[in-house]
């Protein structure tokens, strides 16, 4: 059977060999086993359902939340001589029924639909009369409520397809799935452990960098100046920021377009096309941009603001370098951005429990900015990547040249101060107390009477705060989840307080902090 798969790979797609993970996944589908593929962006997920779709009898239904991608994928299949179509709300009602009618007649090998389609009983009964080869859930993490991009309509598809009676092979595909999400998808789609193919999340060509303590505009200006012909995306959080960045870069003579929800569909389409056709080199956008865009030569992704969680960050940053060439993923960190993300969570209509979860995820994003471990490793650990990884050797932490210092004593002072303050204050206040600040708030709370007051008076308050952030990133302190980030001790804190464990931290000298990004230029 796999021989046929090879033949199809060559004949239809013109490729001579499979990529890592494609073969087993295709094999499972051909043996009619439900399967789940977890592969990084650009890993070649589409072929995993396209080849079984071609080899198995009947029509393959591909469910995708990315309406903007459907047309491109369908056009591409048709250009390879594979009869395909899509049905979604961008078509007139007549066109939709015509296409559905043709699907029922077995005219197509592939039909792409949005999850919402399954809300229609008419659609379900049409499908029941269609001979199906396979149902594929693209972006399968969207069906899990544990996922960062949960879509209820996607989850209800699962119930709806049960009504089809004779269910064909089901395949899920995703680039981001935590263990929880993976289990959830498996359960919803009835996928056995042995049919989960996880190639890991590693994107070895991505060079992750965190830039702290540098004026963001200065950084962007210097960075773009050295690579005027390369394509890049700058993600910002608000329309206002995007408009401002766009205006500023245009004035600087950069070929730049912008994309956000305040623009008309026409404007957004045109911006997107300009970027894809390399008429502009830089796109300033909200994270909505890039979702359904197949542009493989994006050389850098800069985050002007803090993303809300690691999942989103990895996905957005991962829009760089889909062609496998080395590309930069740069996060411009400023502590102020944390407040904006908190505000967005607070303002949202999520239930309390969900909010708490979002605060936790945000904290892990912040921890990423403060860790001194390899950034690539940090993320792979976060995603519980099944493979062991060495430090990448190129991220801003791997290239760090700061000096390693033992900060056990400082850590003990900070931790015991947190305890003495009854774990009811945030990092700013704790820093003030150990620094020995005479601020009104310290006096009012009478914390100047604590035995830990002023024990770190020889350090700058800013450096103390950085140490606290580092302790949080390392799990030696926890942040109480919620609107106000209160510091709490953890199991790990005790080992340090008891002197059973030491703490090391890389301390940069001021001049080095500014060099950290220029290393590979």
392 binds, among Zn ion, ligand ADP, none (CB under 5 to 8 A by kind): Zn ion
CB-based contact 297:270 (threshold 8 Å): no
Among the listed residues 159, 184, 149, the one whose alpha carbon sits nearest the alpha carbon of residue 64? 149
Residues 325-364 as x/- pattern, contact with ligand ADP by CB under 6 A = ----------------------------------------
Q: How many CB atoms lie within 10 A of CB 196?
A: 21
Q: Which is nearer to ligand ADP, 120 or 297 (CB)?
A: 297
Q: Distances in Å between the alpha carbon of 204 and those of 102, 190, 313, 322, 390?
A: 44, 32, 16, 11, 11
44 binds, among ligand ADP, Zn ion, none (CB under 5 to 8 A by kind): ligand ADP
Q: How many CB atoms lie within 10 A of CB 478?
A: 21
Task: For residues 379 and 367, give the distance between their C-alpha atoms in angstroms, rounded to a whole number.
Answer: 11
Site for ligand ADP in 42-61 (CB under 6 A): 42-47
Tokens of 53: 């779709």
**CB of 371: closest distance to Zn ion in angstroms?**
11
Site for ligand ADP in 15-44 (CB under 6 A): 15, 18-19, 22, 39, 41-44
Among the listed residues 26, 90, 96, the one whose alpha carbon sits nearest the alpha carbon of residue 60? 26
Three-state secondary-structure class, residue 134: strand
**CB of 209: closest distance to ligand ADP in angstroms?**
23
Q: Which is nearer to ligand ADP, 20 or 101 (CB)?
A: 20
Tokens of 245: 């960045």
**CB of 54: closest distance to ligand ADP in angstroms?**
14
**CB of 42: closest distance to ligand ADP in angstroms?**
5
| Spacing of C-alpha 482 from chain mean position | 22
Beta-sheet strands, E only, within 140-193: 169-174
Site for ligand ADP in 222-241 (CB under 6 A): none
Residue 154 is a binding residue for ligand ADP (CB under 6 A): no
**CB of 329: closest distance to Zn ion in angstroms?**
12
**CB of 148: closest distance to Zn ion in angstroms?**
23
Q: ∠ at Cα 354 (348, 359), nearest 5°?
A: 80
Task: For residues 25 and 195, give the distance between their C-alpha atoms in angstroms, rounded to a whole number.
Answer: 8
Site for Zn ion in 363-382 (CB under 5 A): 374, 376
Tokens of 222: 């210097």
Nearest residue to ligand ADP, scored by beta-carbon proximity: 44
Beta-sheet strands, E only, within 69-216: 84-87, 110-113, 132-137, 169-174, 196-198, 206-212
| Backbone torsion region of residue 64, taken as left when φ is above 0, otherwise alpha when ψ lies between -120 and 50, otherwise beta | beta
Give the HSE-up count for residue 213: Cα atoms under 13 Å, Cβ half-sphere.
14
How many residues in the shown chain lie near ligand ADP by CB under 6 A? 12
**CB of 17: closest distance to ligand ADP in angstroms?**
6
Q: Which is nearer to Zn ion, 398 or 471 (CB)?
A: 398
220 binds, among ligand ADP, Zn ion, none (CB under 5 to 8 A by kind): none
Task: Single out the residue of 305, 366, 392, 433 in contact with Zn ion (rule: CB under 5 A).
Answer: 392
Interface residues toward ligand ADP, by CB under 6 A: 15, 18-19, 22, 39, 41-47
Interface residues toward Zn ion, by CB under 5 A: 374, 376, 391-392, 395, 398
């Amino acid at each position: 059977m796999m021989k046929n798969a090879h033949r199809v790979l060559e004949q239809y797609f013109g490729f001579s060999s499979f990529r890592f993970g494609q073969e087993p996944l295709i094999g499972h589908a051909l043996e009619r086993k439900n399967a789940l593929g977890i592969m990084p962006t650009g890993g070649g997920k589409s072929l995993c359902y396209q080849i079984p779709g071609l080899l198995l009898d009947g029509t393959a239904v591909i469910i995708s939340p990315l309406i903007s991608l459907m047309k491109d994928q369908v056009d591409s299949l048709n250009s390879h001589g594979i009869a395909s179509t899509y049905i979604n709300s961008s078509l007139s009602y007549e066109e939709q029924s015509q296409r559905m009618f043709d699907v029922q007649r077995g005219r197509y090998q592939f039909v792409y639909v949005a999850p919402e389609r399954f809300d229609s009983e008419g659609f379900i009964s049409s499908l029941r009369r269609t001979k199906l080869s396979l149902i594929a859930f693209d972006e399968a993490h969207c069906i899990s409520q544990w996922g960062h991009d949960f879509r209820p309509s996607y989850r209800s598809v699962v119930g709806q397809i049960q009504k089809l009676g004779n269910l064909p092979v089901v395949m899920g595909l995703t680039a981001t799935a935590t263990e929880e999400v993976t289990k959830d998808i498996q359960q919803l789609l009835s996928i056995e452990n042995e049919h989960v193919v996880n190639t890991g999340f590693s994107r070895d060509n991505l060079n992750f960098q965190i830039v702290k303590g540098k004026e963001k505009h200065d950084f962007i200006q210097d960075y773009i100046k050295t690579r005027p012909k390369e394509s890049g995306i700058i993600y910002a959080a608000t329309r206002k920021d995007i408009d401002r960045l766009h205006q500023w870069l245009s004035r600087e003579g950069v070929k730049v377009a912008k994309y956000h929800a305040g623009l008309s569909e026409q404007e957004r389409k045109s911006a997107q096309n300009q970027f894809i056709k390399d008429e502009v080199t830089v796109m300033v956008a909200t994270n909505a941009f890039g979702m359904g865009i197949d542009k493989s030569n994006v050389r850098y992704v800069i985050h002007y603001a803090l993303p809300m969680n690691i999942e989103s960050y990895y996905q957005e940053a991962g829009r760089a370098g889909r062609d496998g060439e080395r590309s930069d993923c740069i996060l411009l960190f400023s502590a102020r951005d944390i407040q904006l993300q908190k505000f967005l969570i607070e303002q949202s209509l999520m239930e309390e429990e969900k909010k708490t979860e979002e605060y936790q995820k945000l904290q892990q994003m912040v921890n990423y900015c403060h860790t001194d471990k390899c950034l690539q490793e940090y993320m792979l650990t976060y995603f519980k990547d099944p493979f062991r990884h060495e430090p990448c050797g190129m991220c801003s932490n791997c290239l760090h040249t700061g000096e390693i210092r033992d900060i056990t004593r400082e850590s003990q002072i900070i931790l015991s101060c947190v305890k003495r303050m009854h774990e009811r204050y945030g990092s700013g206040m704790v820093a003030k107390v150990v620094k020995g600040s005479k601020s009104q708030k310290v006096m009012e709370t009478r914390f100047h009477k604590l035995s830990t007051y002023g024990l770190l008076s020889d350090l700058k308050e800013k450096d103390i705060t950085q140490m606290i952030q580092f302790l949080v990133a390392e799990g030696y302190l926890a942040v109480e989840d919620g609107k106000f980030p209160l510091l709490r001790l953890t199991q790990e804190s005790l080992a340090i307080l008891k002197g059973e464990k030491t703490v090391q931290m890389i301390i940069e000298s001021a001049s080095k902090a500014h060099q950290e990004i220029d290393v590979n230029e």
